[in-house]
Amino acid sequence: MKAIAVLTSGGDGPGLNAVIRSVTRQALAHGVEVYGVRWGYRGLINGEISPLTSRDVGGKMGYGGTILGTARCPEFKDMKVRRTALRNLHQNGIEGLVVIGGNGSLTGALALNEMGLPTYGIPASIDNDINGTDMAVGVDTTLNTILDAIDRIKDTASSHQRAFLIEVMGRDCGYLALASGLAGGAEMIMVPERPGPPVEEIAAAVSEAYVHGKHHCIMVVAEGWKPGTRAVEEYLHTYKDDLGFDVRVTVLGHVQRGGRPSAFDRLLATRMGAFAVEHLLSGESGHMAALRGSQLEPFPLADAVAKLRPLDMRLLELSSVMD
Ligand code: ADP
Ligand code: F6P
């Protein structure tokens, strides 16, 4: 291959710039030209493609967001639209593509690969819902952001003897809630993978925490959990005089996506970027770089997007012992 391109797609997250840097420098080290595509698949369709030099990607590793920009581009699901994208790449002499993103973005990468463009994926999503990799780029930083918030909220919760519902991101996956709740010593963790418990049971647990002499009751709720944070808030508010704790809600929202990537994420990003280029140049495509234990391995994109990464239910059991 003489030239490859790289793009970031879907939701941003910490560590994307470190991946772009690694992809660029590894390709240049092999004498291969690198092109950056702006705004994810939208830029591929509109031809927003320009060369990247080693200097272009320098000094950005420690910053959140993505220097290439990202977007959600629903029209990319249309085969005709993807053909336009392929034509744009072809016109620039680009023979391979590295896609950095979550489940949707990797589905797009698989579709391009099936249309004949050698494509390699890098799992990057704060949700940690990508099947086949122990960790995606961005997850570790986001967990630390959430943990910082839990620690701060705990100060206020204890000082005022309050119960707190802390809602975290994750789309349909409970990983962020489970991992941060465990690490943050939450009294309860609610995830979409485990239905319930009913609000009455949640209220009973809050009341029990009070009876046991706790000064706070922290509940970490995944945004995808049903019946949802607000339903629990309403119920607890109605019965606050019986429970012993008043209740407050904090929805962490997009503060979870930005910020300086952790050492773990920078390292993972650097390893995955270089791995993807190495494998793409050696003729392998239709795979993503996957962290399996401590090693990186190729993992088929088709299997990565076939289902969501299952939650480790043993961790959920552990959380019920630790509350
Ligand atoms: P993420 O990659 O973070 O999961 P999305 O699910 O929003 O984010 O997907 C990002 C983009 O990936 C979409 O906006 C679309 O451009 C592309 N994409 C998603 N699903 C498909 C699909 N089935 N075929 C082709 N492209 C897709
Ligand atoms: O996939 C990352 C994520 O932050 C999810 O956790 C969340 O549900 C979604 O993206 C929010 O998307 P948007 O930034 O488009 O509102």
Which is it for strands 246-251 and 162-168: parallel, antiparallel or unpaired? parallel
Match 């950056």 to its residue by tokens: 36
**Are residues 223 and 108 part of one domain?**
no
**Are residues 69 and 33 part of one domain?**
yes
Say whether pTM exceeds 0.95: yes
pLDDT of residue 181: 97
Which is it for strands 33-37 and 3-8: parallel, antiparallel or unpaired? parallel
**Positions of the chain with pLDDT lower than 70, given as ranges:** none
Domain presence at residue 17: yes
- Domain encompassing residue 159: 140-257
Using H for helix, E for strand and C for coil, what is the string for the chain? CCEEEEEECCCCCCCHHHHHHHHHHHHHHCCCEEEEECCHHHHHHHCCEEECCCCCCCCCCCCCCCCCCCCCCHHHHCHHHHHHHHHHHHHCCCCEEEEEECHHHHHHHHHHHHCCCCEEEEEECCCCCECCCCCCECHHHHHHHHHHHHHHHHHHHHHHCEEEEEEECCCCCCHHHHHHHHHCCCCEEECCCCCCCCHHHHHHHHHHHHHCCCCCEEEEEECCCCCCHHHHHHHHHHCHHHHCCEEEEEECHHHHCCCCCCHHHHHHHHHHHHHHHHHHHCCCCCEEEEEECCEEEEEEHHHHHHCECCCCHHHHHHHHHHC
Domains of the chain: total = 2
CB distance 104 to ligand 2 below 6 Å? no
**Are residues 134 and 7 part of one domain?**
yes
Amino acid found at 6: V
pLDDT of residue 6: 98
**Are residues 125 and 106 part of one domain?**
yes
**Are residues 117 and 20 part of one domain?**
yes
**Are residues 220 and 72 part of one domain?**
no
pLDDT of residue 196: 81
Give the residue numbers marked as catalytic.
127
Q: How far is the CA of 73 from the centre of ligand 1 (A)?
A: 7
Which of 257, 274, 290 is the last residue in one of the domains?
257
pLDDT of residue 70: 98
**Are residues 164 and 78 part of one domain?**
no
Q: How far is the CA of 13 from the centre of ligand 2 (A)?
A: 10
**Are residues 275 and 212 part of one domain?**
no
**Are residues 253 and 278 part of one domain?**
no
Domain presence at residue 315: no
pLDDT of residue 319: 87
CB distance 66 to ligand 1 below 6 Å? no
Which is it for strands 33-37 and 49-51: parallel, antiparallel or unpaired? antiparallel
Question: Minimal CA–CA distance to 213: which of 158, 262, 168?
Answer: 158
CATH of the domain at 169: 3.40.50.460
CB distance 102 to ligand 2 below 6 Å? yes
CATH of the domain at 79: 3.40.50.450
**Are residues 280 and 161 part of one domain?**
no
CB distance 222 to ligand 2 below 6 Å? no
Amino acid found at 151: D
Question: Minimal CA–CA distance to 223: which of 319, 123, 127?
Answer: 127
Q: What is the pLDDT of residues 64-81, one digit of tens each?
A: 999 999 999 999 999 999
Question: Minimal CA–CA distance to 261: which of 145, 122, 167?
Answer: 145
Q: How far is the CA of 11 from the centre of ligand 2 (A)?
A: 6
